[in-house]
Structures are given as structure tokens and as C-alpha cells.
Amino acid sequence: MNMIRYCLRFLTILYIGISSPILLWSQETESAPSIYTFSELVNAINNCPDSIFRLENARIRFDPKTDQHFRITQDHTLNLWKFKKSTFKGGMIDINKHVRFNNVQAEENPVVSLGRDVGDFGALRNLHFKKSLRVANSSSFLLINCIVDGRLDVVKTEVTENDVKDGNIFLLWSNQLLGGCTVGFWLPQSEVSRVQEKVLSIRHNTIHYGPNSPTAVPSSRLVVDQANYLEFTDIVGNTIRAAEWCNMFISGSNIEISENKCSSPAFLMNITPHENCNSLIIDNNQFSGYAGLAIDHFNTNYEIDWKQFQNKLFSMSGFDRLYELRLNSKGKINPSMMRNFTEKEFTYEKYVNLFRHENFKAYNSERAQLGKMYDFYKSNFDKTTSNMIYVEMKDLETKRYEYLQQVKPSFNNYFQWRINQFLKYFSEYGTNPAKSIIFSLYVILCFALFYLLFPNSWDDQGKHRIMNRYSFFLNYMNRSEGMHELYMENQKEEVANYEKFHELISKTRKRVPSFFTSTAGILYSWAISKTSMTTKLLKKIDFLRGTWFELSGWKKFWKSSLLIVLFAFAFLYDLMIKMLNALMLSLNTFSTLGFGEIPIRGLPRYMAILQGFIGWFLLTIFSVSLISQLIE
């Protein structure tokens, strides 16, 4: 028995001694990563007998001899963030497989190699993926100038040693992504801090989503979810077409979303800047639909262009109230509220135009977001933009009061609703005093036109002025006296008073101090000057020389034409004086300067009282808005 035991022990030890190195060698062989050049990788994909090509735990090495099709020059790397459009030349290589990469690493990280003379790099470029592409837990992934007909998924759920050593960079540049895209980084917070460089750059891609995409399902949409992972993010210059919406959950220390063109019902951005965020740029984007936004906090170093959001912005937290209405108390979907968001009941347009005014929580969320942005621009001394946001806040309030008046009518709701409507038209809620001046001028002119139709004591001669003008021309054409003689005849009473004054000066010249006679003579000359000048002018232009009836045919024609022209000038002058008097009456009434007894009777008298009240009200609002703008 002992012999048998010894034999068994010997055989066991011998087996372990022989098998262990083999097992260890086998494990090392399995764990050792495969190494491909870019050309070898593409060939391996196309030569794969299966419809899905899977590659795990591999490294990709750039070979200058065989990988010229995939080459990126050092200049492109050094100007990483200045890259605008693809300048690569060469034909496209077709890939007819579904491709799945997991833990596939590039041997050189362009970010780590910046500023070092390490030669050129390789990237997946000039490739046409006829089906889907999924990249999981990989580092230094560069997809440039490619076409992806199926869905593109870039996801990361674990940190690799390459991430810890060299950092992580994902570049999607100048691609045509036709079947939907998800970029997601879902890692434990404890693992995130181990990665040195964390960069995502999505630039100048043409991205299609939804039923208009060649291969995408109707529910496909853009999703960028960083889960508090990346430090540097830029989404710049992309053209995005989506049937439903584009959704981004972005966090980091340096974030840029600019120059994108989005053709979708909504472009949703949930941004969580780090506490030490160095840069947040949201600039020059074009949204064909609405833009949903949620930002935790604002710093003065952020750059956010308001014009891209004007009349299109809504709060994502407010929109979440729609989800609450679709849930019952047990947290399950309420069948009676079950709707797809592409249906009419739950479109973004319906939310913006109805729901956010009617739901109190959604309304408060919208006000809170606009208030944060108002304070942000105001702290940056951007008065113009802060005024624009204030107008949107008041527009939201106006629609809220309109809704309250419909469901719960009251004088207070009605008054708030209507006064807000008036203030919007009058002065943009007090932000534009110049607009209130223009509105006031319209009021003054309308009342002046009304006063023009009625006589008043300020224009006592106005009602007789035109009749006197007709009488003058009728007498001129039927008498042989000249025009200046008829004028002097009409002015004889006034001239007689001047002459009496002149005679008095002459009689008393030697009996009073010369000061009085000299100054009185100047006064006489000034008083008579208008009459004298008018007489001389009429004498020079007098062309009738007799009665109009005695003229021959040709002279009658051209002299009649001249008479009509002269009469038109005189008539326009009289009308202008009458209009000026009506305008002065309206201006005096509007400004409430006061004129004692109201110089008008009948209906215009009551209109003058009404205009005085309107003028007081408008001038008060103008004063408040002007002082408010001056103080700010």
C-alpha cells in the first residue's frame, strides 16, 4: 500500500510539473494581446466568414509601409483642435460586416504625443462600414472621413491599463453617420480619477437619425452620455438630422458645443460642468426646432451665445414633468396617459406652447432657468442679452396669466394679462424706452388728427383763414388793382394802427428823451417789416395786370395756371398752420402741461381729458423704464 501511495504521489507531482508550464504558457498566450497593422485589421474584417467580426484585447500599430491609406500626419496632430474638414485623399474601402471592437487600443495616443517628434499616426479613415460599428472599452479611437450606414456605438464601462498609462481620446471627424450614434462613458467614479487624459472630439460630421436614415430604426437618436468622465469635450461643426431628438449628457472641465446645424424637433443638452470648469462654450449653433437645456451652475468665464436659443429654448427639467404625468402613484406607466413622444399630444411644440404655461412645476422650472441665464449675462455686464432674456421671462408670465384667466377668471388675472400685453407692445416690458417714445408719438399724432377736424380757441382764425384766402384771389381776378394793393387793403386796419404809432413818435421826438423815440422807431420798423416785405414781394410777382375776364385765350390759360400754383402754396401754408396748432394742442394735452380752460368744445373736449390721462399713464411708464435702464 505504501508503495502504491508513493507511486501515486510521484505521478501526481510529475503531472503537475509537466502540465503547469503548459497551462501557464497557454494562459499567457491567451492573455497576450493580438497586434494588427491597420491594413491587416481591414483584411481580417473582410475575410471573416461570419456576418459579425469580433475583436477583443488587441492593439493596432501603424506601419508606414503598408498603412498609407490610414495615415495621419504629425501636422494634423499638432493642430488637433484647429482641424476643420478632412483633407485626406484616396478611395473608400468597403466593409460588409457588423464590426465589434472590445478593448482594442492604438499603440500611439495623439494627445500624449503632442509636441513630440514621433512621426505619423494611423486612424480608421476612408472606410465605408456598410453595417453597424461598435467600439467598447477602447482607447485612442480615431474615426475620420468614414461612412457608417448602420449604427455607431462608442461605449466605455471599464478602465484599462492603457487608459491609466496614456489617457483616452476619441475623435470622430468628417464622417457620415447614417444610422444613429451613441457615445457613452459609464464608469465608477473611483475609476475615473485613474485616467490621465480624457478627450472626446466630434467634429464636422454629417449625422442622420430616424426614418429618413438608410438603415436606422425610427427611434434612433444621438446620445452623448459622459457620466462625469471626460475632461475635454468638443462637438463642433456637425450637421445633424434627426426624426425625434438629439440628447447629450455632458460633463467636464472644458466643453465646447458650437457651429452645429441641427434639423430635429429638439436638441437636448444636459450639461454638468466640473467645479473647476475652465471653459464652457455654446456658440453659433443653428436649431431648426427647439433647444432643451439644463446647466447646473454658471460661471462668468462661460461663453454662451443667447441668439441661438432665442424663442427656441426650454427647460429639460420642466419637460420632465410630462413623464411624471404619464406615471401613476405606483410608478407604473399609466395606460390612459401612454403616448409616444412623436405623437401630437406630446410634441415639443405642444410643451413649449401649452404645457409649460399650464403646469405649475414646469412653469417654475422655465422661470428658474431663464432667471439663471439672466443673472449670468447681467454679471458679465451684457445688458442687451439680459434684456432679451427678461423679455422672454415676461412673455412666459403673460401666457401663464392668460391660462389662469381661462381656467379661473378674476380681475387680477385679467389685469395682469392685459397690462403685460400692453407693456410688451409699449416698451418691451420696460427694456426699450425708445419704443415707448415712438408709441407716444403715434398717440399724439392720432389725437392731433382728431383735433384738426374741430375748431378750437388756439386756432381762432383757422376757420376763417381759408375763406379769406379764397376771397383774396376772387377779388384779385375781378379787379384791376394789383395784388399788393389788395393785400394792403386787407391790412389797412393793422397798418393804420402802425401809422398812428409812427405819428406819435414823430410828434414827441423833441419833447421826450431820445432813448424812447429811438427804441420806439426800431419797434415800429420791426412791426411794419412783415407788411412791407410782403407788399414788395406781391408787387414783383403781380402778373395779371387787369381782370382775368379781359385776358385773351393763351394768356388766360398760362396766367390761370400760375394763379392756381400760387393759390395752392397759400392754401398749403394755411393748412400747415392749422395742423401745427392741432399738433401743439395734442402735445400740450398729452404732456399734461395744463392750459387752464380746455380750448375746445363738444366731443373733442372729452377726448382731450382722455388723452391727458393716457399721456400721464404713458409718461409714467416711460420714466420708470428709462430710470431702470439708466440705473442698470
Q: 521: buried, middle or exposed (CB in 10 Å: 19+, 13-18, 0-12)?
A: middle
DSSP three-state, residue 167: coil
DSSP three-state, residue 613: helix
pLDDT above 50 (res 2): no
Q: In this predicted structure, which of 84-93, 328-337, 429-438 has the lowest mean pLDDT?
A: 328-337
Percent of the chain with pLDDT over 90: 19
Structure confidence at residue 399 (pLDDT): 94
Structure confidence at residue 234 (pLDDT): 84
Rounded CA-CA distance 593/572 in Å is 29
Q: Using alpha carbons, select from 105, 165, 108, 109 the residue that is nearest to residue 137.
A: 105
Percent of the chain with pLDDT over 70: 72
Q: Give pLDDT tens digits for 36-71.
A: 999 999 999 999 999 999 999 888 888 888 888 888
Per-residue pLDDT, averaged over 526-530, amounts to: 87
**DSSP label at 626?**
H
Residue 187 contacts residue 130 (beta carbons within 8 Å): no
Q: Give pLDDT tens digits for 361-395.
A: 899 999 999 999 999 999 999 989 999 999 999 99
Per-residue pLDDT, averaged over 507-526, amounts to: 87
pLDDT above 70 (res 544): yes
Rounded CA-CA distance 505/166 in Å is 111
Structure confidence at residue 165 (pLDDT): 67
Q: In this predicted structure, which of 116-120, 202-206, 514-518, 526-530 has the lowest mean pLDDT?
A: 116-120
Q: Give pLDDT tens digits for 343-370.
A: 444 577 888 888 888 888 899 999 999 9
Q: Provide the terminal-to-terminal Cα distance of the chain, rounded to the nearest Å.
A: 104
- Cα angle vertex 453, ends 450, 456, to 5°? 95
Q: Using alpha carbons, select from 211, 288, 199, 315 the residue that is nearest to residue 250.
A: 199
- Taking the whole predicted model, whether its pTM rises above 0.75 is answered as no
For residue 253, name the pLDDT band (cuts at 50, 70, 90). Answer: confident
Structure confidence at residue 385 (pLDDT): 93
Residue 347 contacts residue 265 (beta carbons within 8 Å): yes
For residue 270, name the pLDDT band (cuts at 50, 70, 90). Answer: confident
Torsion angle in degrees (nearest 10) through CA of 298, 302, 305, 309: -30
For the chain, state the CA radius of gyration. Answer: 44
Nine cell digits for residue 173: 471627424
Structure confidence at residue 406 (pLDDT): 93
Average pLDDT, the chain: 76
